[in-house]
Amino acid sequence: FISTGELLPATFPDQDPASPSSPVSPFCLFNGLGVSATAPADRDELLPPLAPVQLEYLPHQCCKDCLPSLPRMLQSTTSLSCQNPLKVPLLCGFKRLTAMPLMSTLRDAEGLEDNGDWDVMYKAPCGQSLRDFDDVMCFLSATESYDVLQVDFFTFSHFVQLDPMPGRHHSEDLSRGKESTPVELCVGDAGTRPSEFRYRKDRWPHGCFLSRGPALFRVCCDCTDGCSDAKHCACVAMTTGGRGYSHQRLLEPVPSGLYECGPWCGCVRSRCQNRLVQRGLRVRLQVFQTEDRGWGVRCRDDLDRGTFVCIYAGVVLQRVQSPVELPPAKLFAADVPSDDEVEVVTEWLA
């Protein structure tokens, strides 16, 4: 179940749910955007769909007209950055439907969930069914909606719930507007806050520059298919074995690292499936205080497997330092010319 926690059966135009003679489907559909009459007061307000969803599909060739709310959403991309990315399709008029065999639920609901018999699909405003990521990519390409929607805004895992548990004591944006997606501070019961906290969007220190200009990017591509095939994209082929992102998710670790498309590539950035980390933070993070380990960072919403969260730049601290691991080198103010960087170095040495 998704959203309010209630299982809401979908109603179709040609079917009366109250009629005993209505045909019973072997699957029961639940609306992923159902809202109860009295929603919890502390739950995040979910914007209603901007266009009605036509559940009865009429054969047609999908185009821009299949997303009538797209022009309006293009003007409100800033407000969308504050939403759960997996909710953006719902705000654009999609429906997320979950189906399960009725007979199995009556016998063994727990076994059904463990076996993964649930089926998730999306209904576009035009009635088109999207059953997997390939269908999503075809629909986004046909409607030219990559400026608002991305393939990783969709999830077909029934374990992922789009409405998180309501939090408490949320405070201001710790990034102070540096991130398009705010980073929340979850204030503790005592009202404690991180002392001398400074948010940096970019990695620091920056280190040495290996080269300048296009010479650093010796391989570039000019793909027109979204850079998803290692046989055609030179950048994807640079990754060992051509194992890159799968629908903008990394399902298995790649120890050798991944090569994303660079600034000198001729591919369309909004359609490129090989640009993920460089797009920056898109999931909603919270900084919170743990019981015995200081301050930590967590995701506010459920994430699909392989979702990029953020860049971790720093030293992994352990209780016992490994004998083969060198201690982090200390920097001195005399080695850093910038006044701003001198202040940060002083904080490190303190």
Which pLDDT score, from 0 to 100, does residue 194 have? 79
Residue 274's nearest CA partner among 241, 309, 242, 312 is 242
Quote the CA–CA distance of 46 and 87 in Å, as a whole number.
9
- Residue indicated by tokens 């359609």: 271
Quote the CA–CA distance of 243 and 80 in Å, as a whole number.
31
Which class for 267: exposed (0-12), middle (13-18), buried (19 or more C-beta within 10 A)? buried
The greatest distance separating any two alpha carbons of the chain, rounded to the nearest whole angstrom, comes to: 84
Which pLDDT score, from 0 to 100, does residue 267 have? 92
Residue 96's nearest CA partner among 151, 8, 33 is 33
Neighbours of 318 (CB within 10 A): 8
pTM of the full structure: 0.68
Which pLDDT score, from 0 to 100, does residue 21 have? 39
- Structural tokens at position 50: 């901007």
Positions in the chain short of pLDDT 70: 1-56, 75-78, 101-117, 166-170, 188-189, 203-217, 242, 313-350
- Structural tokens at position 272: 């490129």
Coil/strand/helix, residue 133: helix
Q: Which long-range contacts (CB under 8 A, 24 or more apart) does 109-118 make?
A: 113/158, 116/158, 118/158
